[in-house]
């Protein structure tokens, strides 16, 4: 039986050597946006970057105007015309810009620099889990205890260990969002930043613009 598994392993290895093997990125962390407070944290960070860019560009006295996703301040968006995030983030960003002392206009003027932002919702069809560094090393160390056991027992231990890791690993969820903020003057980007976050699956509608239905769907070959 041991020889059978060895030949099977050799067959699989030699059968795949002609193709590049998929490799994951190095372990990293990505924040998860789960509360309006997190929207405010992002707004504060973006406002700070905008303020610094205006100072560097010698536009310290230049007014900015944060574009509304629909309507105007005097004529609010209609229900389902925009998203909760779009409206909330704009209000929070204006507040933070004022707090930083950035001249912020209530109306779009010729001299004001316009601040635009957009949200892209990304849907991953596959179920994804993440594992912290060292997880596989711990699993390998645990399995090595069975190095003198029969091959069948080693394989059963390996399968059980992988199943435990898969169950214990945190689920990444199906949805992510890309939030991009930019300033344009003289037909050139004066400032641009993009932030990527995980979001809870049931909360995707906070970010989904139903008027356009823009969602980037990422489908694995396993789902086709």
Strands (E), 58-174: 64-66, 113-124
Question: Is the separation of the CB atoms in 86 and 119 below 8 Å?
Answer: yes
- Provide the 10 A C-beta neighbour count for residue 159: 10
For the ranges 56-60, 125-129, 145-149, 172-176, the maximum mean pLDDT occurs at 56-60
Residues in the chain: 224
Nearest to 102 by CA among 110, 94, 91: 94
- Give residue 213's pLDDT: 47
pLDDT at 82: 85
Q: What is the mean pLDDT of the chain?
A: 75
Backbone φ and ψ for 192, nearest 5 degrees, come out as -160, 135
Q: What is the CA radius of gyration of the chain?
A: 25
**Cα–Cα dist 163/87, whole Å:** 43
Per-residue pLDDT for 27 more than 60? yes
Q: What are 70-104's pLDDT values in tens digits? A: 777 777 777 777 888 999 999 999 999 999 999 99
Rounded Cα distance between 185 and 114, Å, is 8
Answer whether residue 140 shows pLDDT above 80.
Answer: no
Helix or strand run (H / E) with residue 217: strand 215-218
**What pLDDT, in 10s, does the model give residues 196-206?**
998 998 888 88
pLDDT on residue 96: 97
Q: In terms of pTM, does the model score above 0.75?
A: no
User: What are the two backbone dihedrals, phi and then psi, of residue 122, each rounded to the nearest 5 degrees?
Assistant: -115, 130
Run of H or E residues at 177: strand 175-185
């Amino acid at each position: 039986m041991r020889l059978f598994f060895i030949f099977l392993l050799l067959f699989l290895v030699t059968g795949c050597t002609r193709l590049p093997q998929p490799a994951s990125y190095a372990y990293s962390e990505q924040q998860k946006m789960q509360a309006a407070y997190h929207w405010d944290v992002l707004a504060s960070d973006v406002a700070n970057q905008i303020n610094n860019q205006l100072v560097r560009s010698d536009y310290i006295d230049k007014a900015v105007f944060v574009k509304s996703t629909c309507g105007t301040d005097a004529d609010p968006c209609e229900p389902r015309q925009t998203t909760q995030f779009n409206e909330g983030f704009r209000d929070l960003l204006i507040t933070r810009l004022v707090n930083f002392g950035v001249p912020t206009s209530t109306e779009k003027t010729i001299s004001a620099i316009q601040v635009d932002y957009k949200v892209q919702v990304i849907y991953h069809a596959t179920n994804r889990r993440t594992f912290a560094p060292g997880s596989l090393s711990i699993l390998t160390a645990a399995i090595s205890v069975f190095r003198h056991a029969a091959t069948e027992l080693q394989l059963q231990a390996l399968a059980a260990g992988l199943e435990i890791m898969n169950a214990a690993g945190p689920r990444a969820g199906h949805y992510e969002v890309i939030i991009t903020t930019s300033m344009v003057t003289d037909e050139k980007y004066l400032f641009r930043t993009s932030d990527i976050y995980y979001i809870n699956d049931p909360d995707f509608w906070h970010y989904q613009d139903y008027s356009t239905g823009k969602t980037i769907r990422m489908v694995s070959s396993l789902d086709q």
